[in-house]
Amino acid sequence: MAKWEEDLPPIMRERLAKIGELTPEEKERIKDSDHLTSLLSDFYKGDVNAEGLWKRMKEYKDKSKVHLLKEAQIKLIASLSFGSSDLEFQNRKEGILAIETLKEDQNTPMLEQNLNNIKSMQKRYKEEMERAYNEYKTAVERNPQLRMQQVKQGKATIVMELTVDEAVKILPEWKTFIKNHDNKYNQEFIKAVDNLKQQIK
Q: Give me the tens of pLDDT residue by residue for the chain, a chain 201 residues long.
A: 555 556 667 776 666 666 666 677 777 888 888 889 999 999 999 999 999 999 999 999 999 888 999 999 999 999 999 888 999 999 999 999 999 999 988 999 999 999 999 999 999 999 999 999 999 999 999 998 888 887 777 787 787 888 999 999 999 999 999 999 999 999 999 999 999 999 998
Domain boundary among 106, 132, 148: 106
pLDDT of residue 6: 63
Separation of alpha carbons 144 and 201, rounded Å: 58
Query: 3 with 69, same domain?
Result: yes
**Overall residue count recorded for the chain in this entry:** 201
pLDDT of residue 8: 67
Residue 111 lies in a domain: no
Separation of alpha carbons 40 and 45, rounded Å: 9
Query: 101 with 75, same domain?
Result: yes
Separation of alpha carbons 99 and 48, rounded Å: 14
Query: 86 with 10, same domain?
Result: yes
Separation of alpha carbons 192 and 72, rounded Å: 18
Query: 85 with 167, same domain?
Result: no
Domain boundary among 106, 139, 173: 106
pLDDT of residue 30: 80
Separation of alpha carbons 61 and 71, rounded Å: 12
pLDDT of residue 174: 96
pLDDT of residue 84: 87
Query: 146 with 175, same domain?
Result: yes
The model carries a pTM of 0.77
Residue 114 lies in a domain: no
Query: 4 with 79, same domain?
Result: yes
Residue-number span of the structural domain to which 196 is assigned: 120-201
